[in-house]
Amino acid sequence: MHDSDDVKSKQEESKKRQFLDNYLESTPAVRPGTLVKGTVLEVLDDKALVSVSGLKKEVEMPLDGNFAVPQVGDEVEALLHESATGKYSLLRRKERNEETEKSLKEACDSKTPVLGKFIKVKYGRPKQKEGADNSGKEKSGSDEPRPIGYLVELSDTYNAICWLPNADVERVADPESLIGVQDYFILEKFVPNPNRESTVNRRAYLESQIKQAKDEFFNAISVGDVVEGTVKSLTSFGAFINLGGFDGLLHLSDMSWGRVTKAKSVVKIGDVLRLRVVSFDKENYKINLSLKDMEENPWNTFMDRYEVGQVVKGTVMRVVNFGVFVEIEPGIEGLCHISELSWTKKNFNPAELYHAKDQVEVKILGYDIANKRISLTIKQLLENPWNSIVSKYPVGTKLTTTAVKVTDTAAFFKIVDDIDGFLSIDDISWTEKFKNMHDFVKEGETKEVTISQIDPKQQRIRLSVKDMSSNPWLLLSHSHPKNSSLKAVVTSVSDNGINVKVNDDISAFINKFNLNLADSSTRVSDAYSVGQEVEGTVIDINVRAQKLVLSLKEFERRQSMGDIQQYMSSSDDDDSAGFTLGDIFAKKDSDN
């Protein structure tokens, strides 16, 4: 029984030994959590593949920026790490440096600037905000990684984080632009463990330097001093000048002695300028600069170079609705009023004739140095066509010309160049009345007209169509003066009178009181009809008003008086003198 137990015990011991040997053969010679050495086989973008002695497969080693990127063949020492899924990886670790640790701790406590270098941009995803959906994404925007800060190298042992807003005093448009930049930082939080990151702030350091520079600058300057700066940005009211970490304002009005509407017409970003200090506020660190004061004011010596009547060349700077502004030298502008642009154009837009940057010749009419104003003329250097218009187109000249503008009551016809003649609706015909000028002529149509009036001083020409023929009213007044008889034809009959036509041009209305009616009860239509020829006495004829007053009753009365005179002067026998007025009328009745 004892021997049997002993054999059994030896068999179990042998099995345990065999199990241990098999385990040791299948288990690597290195253990997770231990420091191992290996050789770099391949370097990728964010990791390296390392061959570790004792492991059958190469192991990944992340490249996190805390160490220099290794080269193929380099030997590295790192901590062997095993994930929950059993995957191995290598993590490099830094050893603490007591001397560096001490100096950085002191710098953090005293806020003494430390030297560092931007070595890598750190990316992160946006934090979930209120309004995000169940997936954790924001309702709008992207959840792609974005720059959140930088990895800053403080020494061979220690790195730190500088959050993006603290990297510069201004917004960093291109985060990669700071990589490799070496500068001082304020160490806000120091972590002694070199494998964890401290926190630094470059913005705080730069702001302290800027404040120091401002204090030194504003304590040293005076109004009138000349400073040098670089154009940093342009605005609608001027430009900001970098004076060394802080800005001064160069206003539009201080850029040139002339008028400036846009800063970019004088300066551009990056220009290095010498400027004069015109004012400053030491307490609020504000300063106003001037570029124009670097040169003498040209208005101070204007009268040494110019005089009234002088002809000069200039450049059109601005065109406005009341004229053009012309620069005759840098800083000196004058106005050529619209009235001094053309002899002939009226109520026009100066932009029809001139544009900015046009080169023109002008004449100085006058100036006001105190208010920096100059009056110029262009037209007085040109021939005035009105001086010769009377000799070229005397009154009575007939023209076949084109209507350039037509209104309801008038039309304008081209005479020559920019000179137009005016035709009133009342000057179309002596007798025909037009209600609208468009019924007579339209723009672009040609008509024959005659010049009836010219006034060169007022620059006016009046045209006429009716003056090309005789005035029928004037002819009628000569052929049929007042009290003469005139025949006419009835054209219409109404209760109030009759309309008659004297000739092809003239018509008139004869009211019932001037008609020859038997008595007041007689109707006009019973006594007269259309087409009937009548004869009346001219009571009045007004040529200007084109009005004819004709009386048939007066004509009949005059006829009766003529008969009476005839009977009174007849001598059939010697007793004619014994006739009475009653006898005459009795005889007239018997004859009828």
Q: What is the per-residue DSSP string for 460-505?
A: EEEEESGGGS--HHHHHHHHS-TT-EEEEEEEEEETTEEEEE-SSS
Do 292 and 322 contact (CB within 8 A), yes or no? no
Token readout for 372 is 């920096």
More confident residue, 332 or 4: 332
For the stretch 467-487, pLDDT in tens is 888 888 888 889 899 999 999
What is the chain's length?
Answer: 592
Give whole-number Cα distances, 73 to 45, 49, 457, 511, in Å. 17, 11, 103, 132
| Local confidence band at 4 (pLDDT 50, 70, 90 cut-offs) | low
pLDDT at 89: 84
| Local confidence band at 232 (pLDDT 50, 70, 90 cut-offs) | very high
| Local confidence band at 90 (pLDDT 50, 70, 90 cut-offs) | confident
Residue type, position 470, single letter: S
Do 457 and 427 contact (CB within 8 A), yes or no? no
For the stretch 325-355, pLDDT in tens is 999 998 899 999 999 999 888 788 999 999 9
DSSP state for residue 268 in the 8-state scheme: -
What's the mean pLDDT in 567-581?
A: 52
Q: Measure CA 200 to chain center.
A: 48
Q: Order of strands across the sheet with 507-511?
A: 507-511, 497-501, 485-494, 533-542, 547-551
385-468 and 221-294 share a CATH fold: yes
Strand pairing class (159-163; 198-201): parallel
For the stretch 381-401, pLDDT in tens is 988 888 888 888 899 899 999
pLDDT at 26: 46
What's the mean pLDDT in 232-248?
A: 91
| Local confidence band at 21 (pLDDT 50, 70, 90 cut-offs) | low
| Percent of the chain topping pLDDT 70 | 85
- Which sign, positive or negative, has the C-alpha torsion 289, 295, 300, 303? negative
pLDDT at 13: 66
What's the mean pLDDT in 562-585?
A: 55
pLDDT at 157: 77
Q: Return the CATH class of domain 385-468.
A: mainly beta
State which fold the 472-560 domain adopts: OB fold (Dihydrolipoamide Acetyltransferase, E2P) (2.40.50)
Helix, coil or strand: residue 232 = strand
pLDDT at 138: 47
pLDDT at 16: 56
* CA Rg value for the chain: 56
Distance (Å, whole) CA 233 – CA 103: 41
For the stretch 521-565, pLDDT in tens is 889 888 899 999 999 999 999 988 889 999 998 898 888 887 666
Q: In 3D, which of 404, 435, 433, 430 has the Cα closest to residue 417?
A: 404
pLDDT at 431: 81
Provide the mean pLDDT of the chain. 84
Helix, coil or strand: residue 514 = helix
More confident residue, 56 or 116: 116
- Helices 552-569 + 581-591 axis angle, to 10: 110
Distance (Å, whole) CA 357 – CA 362: 14
Q: In 3D, which of 58, 36, 200 has the Cα closest to residue 119?
A: 200
**DSSP-H helix ranges across 331-380:** none
Determine the CATH number of domain 27-91: 2.40.50.140
Give whole-number Cα distances, 128 to 121, 135, 143, 162, 404, in Å. 22, 10, 9, 22, 72
> Poorest-confidence range of 192-201, 301-310, 351-360?
192-201
Token readout for 225 is 């001093």
Question: Which CATH architecture does the domain made up of 98-126+143-207 adopt?
Answer: Beta Barrel (2.40)
Give the distance between the most distant pair of CA atoms in the chain: 219
pLDDT(452) > 70: yes
| Percent of the chain topping pLDDT 90 | 43
Q: In 3D, which of 126, 152, 150 has the Cα closest to residue 140?
A: 126
Q: How many CB atoms lie within 10 A of CB 144?
A: 8
Q: List, in order, residues 6 or more apart from 136 with CB less than 8 Å away.
A: 128, 143
Residue type, position 321, single letter: N
pLDDT at 570: 59
Q: Measure CA 237 to chain center.
A: 16
pLDDT at 130: 52
Do 326 and 356 contact (CB within 8 A), yes or no? no
Determine the CATH number of domain 298-381: 2.40.50.140
Domain range summary for the chain, segments of one domain joined by +: 27-91, 98-126+143-207, 221-294, 298-381, 385-468, 472-560
- Exposure of 18 by Cβ count < 10 A (0-12 exposed, 13-18 middle, 19+ buried)? exposed
Torsion of CA 156, 160, 161, 162, to 10 degrees: -90
Q: Measure CA 372 to chain center.
A: 27
For the stretch 410-448, pLDDT in tens is 999 998 877 889 999 988 888 888 899 999 999 999 999
Question: Which CATH architecture does the domain made up of 221-294 adopt?
Answer: Beta Barrel (2.40)
Q: List, in order, residues 6 or more apart from 135 with CB less than 8 Å away.
A: none
pLDDT at 7: 60
| Local confidence band at 322 (pLDDT 50, 70, 90 cut-offs) | very high
pLDDT at 133: 52
What's the mean pLDDT in 513-527?
A: 87
Do 74 and 39 contact (CB within 8 A), yes or no? yes
